[in-house]
A and B are shown apart, each in its own frame.
Chain A
Amino acid sequence: MHEPLSEPGVVPAAQREVVVRVSEVVKHFQHGRRQLRALDRVSFELREGRFLVIVGPSGCGKTTLLRILAGLEHQDSGEVWMRPSRDGHPPFAMVFQEQSVFPWMTVRDNVAYGLKLRRVRGREVEERAGHWIRKVGLAGFERAYPHQLSGGMKQRVSIARAFAVDPDVLLMDEPFSALDEQMRTILQQEVSTLCEEQQKTVIFVTHSIDEAITLGDEVLVMTHRPGQVKRLIPIPFPRPRDVVEVRADPRYGELYEEIWGLIAEEVRRGPRED
């Protein structure tokens, strides 16, 4: 397998511990009288600190897969395993696609949300929430309510809220799809840097091939419904990355073409009915 260049002193990716394991996951949806197969025997493994991006045609079940990982939906068969956290809390945090910042809480209370649920002490809640608010560039907006913020700022709150509980795994469901191009690029860079710095294991769902290549260590391309793993493509760019520089790399074009070819094939074929 094509591994990214590893720096001295860093454990090569292949030797790191497996944090997420998905095996033979099948999921059906009831659509009127018919049963539609959304996911068909999906399997993959993810090692610690790796950034996996899942791409595929619309309706391929990539969001469903992520929701199963988050425990928001349940597979019909197959296994989903995530390394438990030491404190018994969920070992992951999720960043959602749509507006998911609580409108009734200030920026500070939103970021502190997970910490309070974990019964973290008051002083520590303040410190950690404050730290992450500054980290995502929202210092001075602690007492603001979400309706006073722009779309990009709200998504920063959502990102800070997820990082604040220091999860082993971050699940991200098209977190930038509602943002404009410029804001998307800026936040892609910030998330890339933060995940690298905090050594997070990430599963990131998107429909953007560009985003997949820019952010991922590995790109998992899914087939049209029922969603299966079509191919797992390693991305050779070292990290930390500059998301703009990466796009200028000649290999970027080749990867784009390769992934586009795979997805286009699926889009043209359309869903297979079972």
Chain B
Amino acid sequence: MAERGATLHRTAAQRARWLPRAGAKTEAVVQILSPVALLVLWEIAARIGWVDQRFFPAPSAIVRAFWEAVTTGVLLHHLKITLWRVILGTLIGGVPAVLIGLAMGLWRWLRLTLDPIIAATYPLPKSALFPLLLLIFGLGEGSKVSMVAIGVFYLAVTNAMEGVLAISPVYFDVAKTFGAKRWDVIRTVALPGAMPLVLAGLRLGVGTGLILGVLAEMLGARDGLGYLLWSAWQTFSVSSLWATLFVTAILGFASVQLVDFLRKLLVPWQRTGARR
């Protein structure tokens, strides 16, 4: 009996044999090593011809193309243009979105009026709007920037609204019992309370804005990372295609990091562990 009981629930030491937990340092090394290992495998596979070099050139070839594009200033030139469009679009789309979203959370009638309009237009693929935007703004900056702005707007507006609605009513009660006036309630409860979701919305919005911006550049621009990707495909320079993809990925990663930094600044009260 006793022996059976022992096998039913293993002791911590017995369990540890099956699921070994290494120290934090070892775990970090593994996390760095796994992508490096993938790159090494890729390099070998490309050189001995296991993968088609036309589609998957060796990492060394991509690095060479990358370096060339950097030194000639081509990559940086296009990166700067895309970056500028994303920043401008995020501001143009995001600032009004947050303000409108917060106002919708605060005022029931505004919510009832605007929510159906937003809900009806939201499911439309934003990329489908690009021809219309080209028609309105022409081939200039306007069409690309507005594409980013639209991508940011929808996610930012709905999240800002939900941010206010998600605040527990007890906090509004507390403010009222202390004699808070309308503006005091907004300033001390609604705004800080909605901030976590406002930033979550911006984080998602920037990601979507970047996708739409690059897409717009592919379809109707003479510069920017999207244009560079498209022309790399057209000239079949696969290495530079990969190099540009890499830079685009870094841009996406950096913009999300920037929003996360903003979140740490504006929402210092959120559990730090909650970032998983």
Contacts and interface: CB of A to CB of B under 8 A. Distances in A.
Interface in A87-119: 89-90, 92-94, 96, 98-100, 102-106, 113-114, 117-118
11 contacts: A93-B177, A94-B177, A103-B269, A104-B192, A105-B269, A113-B178, A117-B184, A117-B188, A145-B268, A146-B269, A147-B269
A70 B195 CA distance: 28
A72 interface: yes
A123 to B, nearest CB: 20
A104 B174 contact: no
B189 interface: yes
Given A98-B170, A100-B171, A71 B192 contact: no
A72 B271 contact: no
Interface string A145-181: 1110000000000000000010000010000000000
B141 interface: no
Contacts of B267: 104
B188 A113 contact: yes
A40 B106 CA distance: 34
B125 interface: no
A93 B178 CA distance: 7
A113 B192 CA distance: 14
A72 B170 contact: no
Contacts of B51: none
Interface of A: 70-72, 89-90, 92-94, 96, 98-100, 102-106, 113-114, 117-118, 145-147, 165, 171
B173 A72 contact: yes
Given A96-B170, A117-B184, A147-B269, A102 B189 contact: yes
A232 to B, nearest CB: 26
Contacts of A89: 179
Contacts of B151: none
Contacts of A92: 177
A105 B191 CA distance: 12
B264 to A, nearest CB: 13
B80 interface: no
A71 B189 contact: no
Q: Interface centre among B177, B188, B267, by most A CB within 10 Å?
A: B177
Interface string B252-269: 000000000000000111
Contacts of A70: 173, 176-177
B177 A102 contact: no
Contacts of B168: 98-99
Given A113-B188, A145-B269, A147-B269, A102 B178 contact: no
Contacts of B176: 70-72
Contacts of A105: 192, 269
B91 interface: no
Contact of B269 (A104, A117, A171): A104
B45 interface: no
B189 to A, nearest CB: 7
A113 B180 CA distance: 10
Nearest to B174: A100
B193 interface: yes
Contacts of B174: 94, 96, 100, 102, 113
Contact of B271 (A71, A147, A165): A147
A100 B168 CA distance: 9
Given A100-B170, A104-B192, A105-B269, 9 more contacts: A71-B177, A72-B173, A94-B173, A102-B188, A104-B269, A113-B188, A114-B178, A117-B184, A145-B268
